[in-house]
Amino acid sequence: MKMPLLLLAFLLPIQAQPHERSFDDRVRQAKQLEDTNDGKAYQEALWKKVGTYTAKAMQRCFPREAPPDTTSFTLVGDLGADALLHRVEVRPATAMSRCFAVSFALAPFPPAPHAFLRNGLPLEIDMQIKP
């Protein structure tokens, strides 16, 4: 089921506020954390739990009436203590990447490690789309 674009607009941030970290800074921080022992352990648990969900979410975003947009994109978000993804951003922001962002934000994430419960755990994924 596809979400109307109007709903997507409300679910995704329009732009970061000046006092917030930039998209690139958030991606960089997430990648640095992925390289730590805790980050590697979380990534393993994450993909075991959401790997199949992620593939299905991407498939739901493929348009049925037109060729899919195969532009690669990067998603970044902050996993909160509620095990939900907050402050989700995608670049480039295409119809397909925004659709995926909405679905991925609702994935059944494993809880973030205790050290990240206060400020959230930054997560990023680089998606290469293959129809």
> What is the per-residue pLDDT across 11-20, written as a single tens digit (0 to 9) for each?
444 343 444 7
Taking CA atoms, 35 is separated from 42, 43, 92, 127, in Å, by 11, 10, 24, 19
Range of the domain at 114: 22-127
Q: Is residue 1 part of a domain?
A: no
Q: Is residue 4 part of a domain?
A: no
* Mean pLDDT value of segment 7-13: 37
Residue 55 has which token pair? 């593939």
Q: How far apart are CA 58 and CA 99, in angstroms?
A: 8
Residue type, 96: M
Burial 16-38 (b: 16+ CB within 10 A, else e): eeeeebebeebbeebeebbeeee
pLDDT at 42 (0 to 100): 93
Q: Is residue 117 part of a domain?
A: yes
Residue holding tokens 């992925």? 34
Are the C-beta atoms of 104 and 57 separated by less than 8 Å? Answer: yes
Q: Is residue 101 part of a domain?
A: yes
Domain count for the chain: 1
Q: Is residue 39 part of a domain?
A: yes
pLDDT at 69 (0 to 100): 72
Q: Is residue 119 part of a domain?
A: yes
Residue-wise pLDDT for 68-109, tens only, equals: 677 899 999 999 988 999 999 999 999 889 999 999 999 999
Query: In degrees rounded to 5, what are phi and psi of residue 70?
Result: -100, 25
